[in-house]
Structure 1
């Protein structure tokens, strides 16, 4: 039975999905007429060589699923950070083609003896004649391919086979369609049957942030790529990744191709075979070293800053590296990776270095250690962060006000936080959405004492909401634009927002309050810690139940676990049925809640096709009519970009209903709702204004943005439907969380907590995962990440503040 906020019949509590929240009275049932058809690629056209996606009509009886097989690429807790996403690409069709040709040849020999007796009376060709025709067709195709190879390949659009697969994989990772790190994620229990996804057209990408690569260097790399059968469109990325002399490096070590995002070992192996011939083998030292570095990069994509040595060796063995330990040692010797020995807390814990239990008993003075291997980039960032935090913790607060000033300000729910900040340089503050009023009261109190204060949030929406809270705490009218006191983390680090920096490059602030602290990755956190002047106070505030950062590390969780500073837990609960529901999820309970105003509605669905239909109906009709929240203020959240009810399918359906158009500029039209991602982990909502020779003109949070044409496919996607990681740090008046059946294996408690918590006034759950929802809430926590920060902090700050 389906329920709908536009429905006229109430749904009793006992009819709601087991373990799901109750549906408030007055919910309607039944599908609305005139639901849109959801076609294939829609505005996001497929790449050349890709077949058109099958159409699904969610308005049809039963909301049937498309009769086409595809691959789901759901987001997870790192990819959500990329964890759990399938970034595998198709193998080359050359081997399959040669096998098919051989099979036809054998069939022609076996069938020649009986062909005459089996010729159809209706004039059908004999098997021998059919085989000859097939062979002629095969030869013609081969000749056509040879002729095509003689001409230049334009931006990868005429590629086929392995080269097309390789280019598509790189583009999928660059555009965010498929996170690259799937090596250390859990395998799916069963293959999924889903609607094929629209594939974006492959185009060369040039990073606006990176220095331009000389054209001659790109041309030299292009020649090597063509020689090895790789797409020439990868030349700019390879040249940028390898630097000076990239063509020589690539020719000497073809596995350096793995440094380009989206390239997998099997594809680099094919490239190496084409260049090296008989010299190439799985035991090649160059291969082992490159695969070891690639595995560490994949681990970083799902949140690890390092890997335990046994885990890395196991992963290398799974990649057909005959001597994994030698490969690790080679990577360390060449400086491609670093090795660490971190002491374990428990004296009796097993040592990763190979120390036996008997040896441990004989040397009780020796603490067991774990051996970790990591990339220099993240190792240095983590050590820099530990140094910076230790400096903050060990520095005494400045004489910035008498104890009486702080004490007089310590009133209301923020009293405990203000007292902690008065006496300590580093303080952690935890709580839900309502608890943000406490850091706002702290900032207002510090400003009243004449301190230079800055607050930073994860998103523009968060910045605007915190600026409104601060205005309320200071009893003034909110400004049209947030003051320089409130910034985003990205804007603060770049210098575009906030108080600016002094002559030494340090932030001009005496108190820095960072909201949405769980979203800090290790590199951003290290830059913040390094930017603080001596004696400045640092407050990290956030909800520990939400998804962790997109980038590697789990800074806020590691600091909470290390206990090197005071921790203040807010006692301010989030209000209303949504707050009650989300609070229960945070402790592992999916409670039934009373929702008399239809604040929480459950919409059970049978399959993904019906989920798409119901979602469109809710956004375009039911929620505006029954709840009074317009479609532009309703946010759809789903587990992944791919799949039968992922962001691509949902956005195509919602565009067709809410803003139909031809999509002349990269699939976009004026008025389209978009999500602009200028950098990984940073997503700004907005809409399309126009398109011209300069590029795609957007408006994001009231600010104009122009995206060059060559960057549109990599940085802009439709934004009616987002993933939870894209939506974290923001809230919407109405949220529709879509849980199709093919996403059951990807759900966990942080994802559900984050998605449900984005709703301010109304939450609809399009529920197709049955018991997987309460099971994920109760039993599936966040996937662990391997980091070194707690160990580093305890070595420098042994006692809690």
Structure 2
């Protein structure tokens, strides 16, 4: 049994979800990143659950982040990641309490039959007391939604100085779990993680239900089955209800790692059958009855076809059935998506705070031009605005921010990561729109944790009037829900970003869903990215891989025949060719490749680049002072930096200009070498020169969003180490983003504009 998450990063590029791969080098990168990149070549008709089941099981990073992030600062101060996680936990508790107060009965929205009816019956059995319900299961489905959301009590701010870090499991608890694992033939190294995940009495829980081992990151159903056979002997059977429930929850967790907030019932049942569950319907019903999953019924959109005729044999003349889709999901994402819908509806349906006359806003818009003026006018009169565009379009939110602050509004901008924050702050200074010591730019994580930004008011709301979220496609449902619920009444929210880049690592596709829903003004920037690089990337965004003129060697194609040559040419470009021909030093050149594993993955490339650029014994957990690294303090976050030193406290890093200390036990999970990274790690950052490596076996990993994201990270120069031949133009033309199953559009429809 593997003791580490089995992820596609360990497979050769182009072989998503390969079984028997080597243990992960670190679990700091979300498995969803590997899933989307490696599975991009699959057809959209593939089962979402199957994709999730074959994807990475990298939950260890999230669970480890919940136990304790890297200690940043001095003394007992919590890290930014810890404060962020605590803030999210407090917000989820508030959402759950709010939902528990809803007393309205469940409305199915349609007459059901077959499996859907069975599931609804299971839910009603819970309500009537015929079956037990877990404490986390307050109600089986969302209550009818209000057209005008009521004001809610804001979450109180979480002070980094006073909040307590999550407690580690007691040594005796770990020892008890270690004994059970040994009896079942499982690696005893899983004991600390299992004790932390399963909580008090973890050893007895594992004895009573060995399949609970699936809740530990990296454990797969076949491994849990072996553990159960060793403990239960003849009592172990494929049709055991405990196994069915555990595999159901595991598949939903894998789906979340692949970006889905829920799974359609047929996809889930198919995946359960593929995992050897004899009666998938019973397994799902049991999971719902035990409160381990929630069921939803969403009416399908009208397609323009004639409505079904009434049944002439029905004496009561009942209305004909409306088609619905039945979805199953985990409570955590269901609550987040509902909270997000509430917060967005509140912004759309309420008038923004009057912080300046219409004449003053119009004067500022008239002083601008084109789409910049449109953005200012839209923000003046609406609580929610969407803005789309590439790198050059950042000038427009910068102008809006300056205009709002000139009217006395408390306006801030936030980005996905610190590199993007620093670039936007430099843009504000360069254009003369901000010259003070404090530039109104922060990261999303820093804003929510209170480590950056304006802080919160006495009611716990963010102390601002206008929030511009850059890199909006990177918002997952939980982060987006926390942001919207934290905005005060009357505030304006502008979501800005490039819709063609890779979606968020976490579940959901918030920005894409909002663009499709058309519930608020949308402003498309008319500022094109300049030069040959801008022309190349713009063409990729519409599905065309154009040959561009590059008189200054802005774009260079380097053909290779095999993995060994790809590694050799990549190192040659970074160390010699790009510095000599382009004038960009090696420390400002970034390598991007489709995956972590394989002959030309990040591990192999980082090893080769370290040997040339910073050779050393790697005596600090594989790292030496001066190594370029990527630090992942929380799932979905990747912060470039360098190793400074190591001592008894841990590994000392310099990330985005700030010191970070990673405890020794967290290094393997959260720190990787960073000369080469994946496209998902690179989202939100740009470098003067980028070398994109496309080995021959990476063809299946390529998609239009991946190529667009990777090529778009270059400011001045792009080298493409090209070994995929016609797979590259085919991916750009024919392989769009892999679909994700979400409920946000359905949840928004009855609320907005009512």
TM category (shorter chain) comes to 0.7 to 0.9
Tell me the residue number matched to 1:731.
686
Q: Deviations over 1:612-647 (max 9, x none)?
A: 110000000000000000000000000000111110
Aligned-pair distance for 1:525?
A: 0.1
Aligned-pair distance for 1:359?
A: 11
2:373 counterpart of 1:418: no
1:496 aligned to 431, 451, 459, which one? 451
2:191 counterpart of 1:260: no
Which range is displaced more, 225-234 or 433-442?
A: 225-234
1:671 touches 1:688 (CA, 8 Å); kept in 2?
Answer: yes
C-alpha distance in structure 1 between counterparts of 2:672 and 2:693, whole Å: 18
C-alpha distance in structure 2 between counterparts of 1:615 and 1:298, whole Å: 34
Q: Secondary structure at the match of 1:456?
A: strand
Tell me the residue number matched to 1:306.
262
CA RMSD of aligned residues (A): 2.8
Tell me the residue number matched to 1:568.
523
Which range is displaced more, 213-222 or 421-430?
A: 213-222
Tell me the residue number matched to 2:187.
231
Show the 5 A alignment for 1:414-493: 414-475=372-433, 477=435, 479=437, 483=439, 485-493=440-448
Aligned-pair distance for 1:180?
A: 8.0
2:245 touches 2:287 (CA, 8 Å); kept in 1?
Answer: yes
1:635 touches 1:735 (CA, 8 Å); kept in 2?
Answer: yes
1:86 touches 1:179 (CA, 8 Å); kept in 2?
Answer: no
1:790 aligned to 731, 745, 748, which one? 745
C-alpha distance in structure 2 between counterparts of 1:286 and 1:262, whole Å: 19
Q: Secondary structure at the match of 2:750?
A: helix
C-alpha distance in structure 2 between counterparts of 1:477 and 1:551, whole Å: 36
Tell me the residue number matched to 1:672.
627
Q: Deviations over 1:359-402 (max 9, x none)?
A: 99997754211000000000000000000111111111111100
Q: Deviations over 1:294-334 (max 9, x none)?
A: 00000000000000011000000000100000000000000
Aligned-pair distance for 1:560?
A: 0.4
2:196 counterpart of 1:245: no
Aligned-pair distance for 1:608?
A: 1.2
2:11 counterpart of 1:72: yes
Tell me the residue number matched to 1:402.
357
Tell me the residue number matched to 2:618.
663
Tell me the residue number matched to 1:711.
666
Aligned-pair distance for 1:477?
A: 4.4
1:615 touches 1:738 (CA, 8 Å); kept in 2?
Answer: yes
Q: Secondary structure at the match of 2:638?
A: strand
2:235 counterpart of 1:279: yes
1:173 touches 1:180 (CA, 8 Å); kept in 2?
Answer: no
Aligned-pair distance for 1:71?
A: 6.2
Q: Deviations over 1:466-487 (max 9, x none)?
A: 11222244445475xx63x210
C-alpha distance in structure 2 between counterparts of 1:262 and 1:183, whole Å: 19
C-alpha distance in structure 1 between counterparts of 2:16 and 2:306, whole Å: 32
Tell me the residue number matched to 1:336.
292
Equivalenced residue count is 629
Tell me the residue number matched to 2:462.
507
Aligned-pair distance for 1:412?
A: 2.3
C-alpha distance in structure 2 between counterparts of 1:360 and 1:592, whole Å: 65
Aligned-pair distance for 1:590?
A: 0.4
Show the 5 A alignment for 1:141-160: none
Q: Deviations over 1:87-121 (max 9, x none)?
A: 6336xxxxxxxxxxxxxxxxxxxxxxxxxxxxxxx
Q: Deviations over 1:699-735 (max 9, x none)?
A: 1111111111111111111100010000000000000
1:636 touches 1:720 (CA, 8 Å); kept in 2?
Answer: yes
2:476 counterpart of 1:521: yes
Change (3 A) 1:250 1:186: farther
Tell me the residue number matched to 1:611.
566
Tell me the residue number matched to 1:95.
none
Q: Secondary structure at the match of 1:679?
A: coil
Change (3 A) 1:645 1:180: closer
Q: Secondary structure at the match of 2:408?
A: coil
C-alpha distance in structure 2 between counterparts of 1:464 and 1:785, whole Å: 31
2:554 counterpart of 1:623: no
Tell me the residue number matched to 2:17.
86
C-alpha distance in structure 1 between counterparts of 2:588 and 2:312, whole Å: 64
Question: Which structure's CA Rg is the greater one?
Answer: 1
Aligned-pair distance for 1:246?
A: 1.4
Show the 5 A alignment for 1:556-705: 556-705=511-660
C-alpha distance in structure 1 between counterparts of 2:628 and 2:417, whole Å: 17
C-alpha distance in structure 1 between counterparts of 2:411 and 2:40, whole Å: 43
Change (3 A) 1:184 1:435: closer
Aligned-pair distance for 1:445?
A: 0.2
Change (3 A) 1:180 1:625: closer
Tell me the residue number matched to 2:141.
none
1:219 aligned to 168, 175, 186, which one? 175
Change (3 A) 1:281 1:187: farther
Aligned-pair distance for 1:188?
A: 7.5
Change (3 A) 1:747 1:364: farther
2:709 aligned to 734, 754, 760, which one? 754
Change (3 A) 1:348 1:319: farther
Change (3 A) 1:233 1:682: same
1:455 touches 1:514 (CA, 8 Å); kept in 2?
Answer: yes
Aligned-pair distance for 1:464?
A: 0.9
C-alpha distance in structure 2 between counterparts of 1:626 and 1:367, whole Å: 65
Q: Secondary structure at the match of 2:327?
A: strand
Tell me the residue number matched to 1:543.
498
Which range is displaced more, 516-525 or 223-232?
A: 223-232
Aligned-pair distance for 1:350?
A: 13
1:326 aligned to 272, 282, 288, which one? 282
Change (3 A) 1:349 1:646: farther
